[in-house]
Amino acid sequence: MALFKKNIWLIFYSLTLTAVILFLLLSYFKWQNISLKYQIAQENTVELIANATHSLFDTQERLMDVLGAAIAEEDRYVHHPSGIGKYAKALLDNPDVLAFGVTTPEGVFLYGSSDSDPARIPNLKNRPESYASFMDALSHHGMVFGRT
């Protein structure tokens, strides 16, 4: 009888240990599955936001290209830059754009939407804070993000 009692307790402890191990394994794999599901959801959200941001910047760049081409076609804006305002209005109607400026390659402002007198806006090429980003913008054919 004592041997039987000892074997029953051994079986009980073995089954309990096996059940605990299986529960822990099942919990671990379930946690991994949930973690992977949320990681994939986060990656998809980040990719969606990145694509939307890229699309927004691409749209802004195209609009600026059209406005830049229209302004560059007419030499009169170099001498009478106030007419640039009609082109800038199309860009400023977009809530994503706060200000708009046109400079010469020498860094002199021809038009600034945030200032009625562009002569008061400092030359971008002569300022140490904006020189590097201005030169970088001049060397690219697309939109460049930076101080300028």
| Rounded (5°) CA angle 24-25-27 | 65
**Is the pTM above the cut of 0.75?**
no
pLDDT tens per residue across span 69-78: 777 776 666 6
Structure tokens at 62: 């195209």
| The pLDDT of residue 30 | 98
| The pLDDT of residue 23 | 98
Q: How far apart are CA 72 and CA 77, in angstroms?
A: 8
| The pLDDT of residue 75 | 64
Q: Where are the beta strands (DSSP E) in 10-108?
A: 101-103
Q: How far apart are CA 57 and CA 49, in angstroms?
A: 12
- Given a contact cutoff of 8 angstroms between Cβ atoms, the answer to whether 131 and 146 are in contact is no
| The pLDDT of residue 45 | 97
* Residues in the chain where the model's pLDDT stays below 50: none
Question: Which residue type occupies 4?
Answer: F
